[in-house]
């Protein structure tokens, strides 16, 4: 997509305010041009049940064509953008809608996300559940629940935080619990030096660095997948389908310079 960097000053949120390059809309609001699905159990490009679609100008993840008797059956899916990205700010506006589809895992209620620094979709196995990647996890919650959004989850990867490599799967952000049906703006700021920030509705809620391919949390690795020990500075992005309907009204990116 030809993103070019522009200068930005120091400071937690300064880069967000100072980037002068225009946004590139990755989702055009009309169709899924530039995107390719990878559903567990289907070949790349297959989406027999029309999980990912555009309705009224909104990118929608739906399960109304799934068989309620057989249930979700761990058919996790990802909608990949066709080009890899490096040194960028990614903006995603989402909201959860409806109820979780029958048979989805309990943890997947009001749960979705965007994968980034991901392996190329063509390097995934047919039955692979998740790409090797980092995930900004989107969570919704009911009144009284504590389910912060924009957490980081590591899928076959590890990260460094405060000088320590962390190998646990998910780490909570200092973010609020946001009720379902509420539109949320989440930005990922990924710098060329490997540092990453998560931003929710304009506030930085998490920062880390040192992403590296590791082990765990991915069901299948096939030839061509990133090797353990590979440092991650960029890669593909993908929107998730994990059994709870979700909508995306904007997915856009723009470059950031070195910090």
Residue identified by tokens 């590591």 is 154
Q: Beta strands 111-118 and 196-200: pairing type?
A: unpaired
Residue 45: alpha-carbon gap to chain centroid: 18
Class of the CATH domain delimited by 14-255: mainly beta
Any residues with CB less than 8 A from the CB of 19 and at least 6 apart, and which?
A: 6, 8, 89, 254, 255, 256
Q: Give the Cα separation of 29 and 35 in Å (integer).
A: 12
Domain boundaries defined on the chain? 14-255
Give the pLDDT confidence of 179-222 residue by residue, as tens digits. Answer: 999 999 999 999 999 999 999 999 999 999 999 999 878 988 89
Cα–Cα distance between 88 and 75 in angstroms, integer?
30
> 44: burial class by Cβ within 10 Å (0-12, 13-18, 19+)?
middle
Per cent of the chain over pLDDT 70 is 92
Mean pLDDT of the chain: 92
Query: Where is average pLDDT lowest: 32-41, 220-229, 231-240?
Result: 220-229
Distance CA 216, CA 233 (A): 20
In the predicted model, is pLDDT for residue 250 greater than 50? Answer: yes
pLDDT the model gives residue 58: 98
DSSP state of 183: -
What pTM, to 2 d.p., does this model score?
0.92
Provide mean pLDDT across the span 19-46. Answer: 94
**Rounded mean pLDDT of 96-111?**
96
Provide the pLDDT for residue 14: 43
């Amino acid at each position: 997509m030809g993103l070019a960097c522009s200068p930005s000053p120091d400071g937690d949120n300064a880069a967000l305010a100072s980037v002068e390059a225009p946004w590139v809309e990755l989702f055009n609001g009309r169709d899924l041009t530039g995107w390719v699905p990878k559903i567990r159990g289907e070949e790349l490009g297959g989406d027999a049940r029309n999980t990912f679609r555009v309705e009224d100008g909104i990118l929608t993840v739906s399960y109304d064509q799934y068989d309620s008797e057989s249930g979700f059956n761990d058919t996790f899916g990802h909608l990949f953008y066709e080009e890899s990205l490096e040194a960028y700010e990614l903006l995603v506006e989402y909201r959860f809608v409806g109820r979780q589809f029958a048979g989805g895992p309990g943890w997947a209620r009001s749960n979705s996300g965007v994968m980034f620094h991901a392996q190329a979709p063509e390097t995934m196995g047919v039955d692979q559940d998740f790409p090797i990647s980092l995930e900004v996890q989107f969570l919704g919650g009911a009144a009284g629940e504590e389910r912060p959004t924009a957490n980081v989850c590591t899928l076959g990867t590890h990260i460094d935080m405060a000088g320590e490599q962390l190998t646990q799967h998910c780490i909570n952000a200092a973010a609020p619990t946001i009720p379902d049906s509420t539109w949320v703006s989440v930005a990922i700021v990924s710098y060329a030096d490997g540092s990453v920030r998560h931003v929710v509705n304009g506030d930085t809620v998490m920062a880390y660095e040192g992403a590296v391919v590791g082990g765990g949390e991915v069901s299948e690795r096939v030839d061509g997948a990133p090797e353990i020990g590979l440092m991650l500075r960029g890669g593909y992005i993908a929107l998730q389908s994990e059994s709870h309907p979700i909508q995306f009204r904007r997915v856009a990116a723009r470059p950031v310079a070195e910090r």
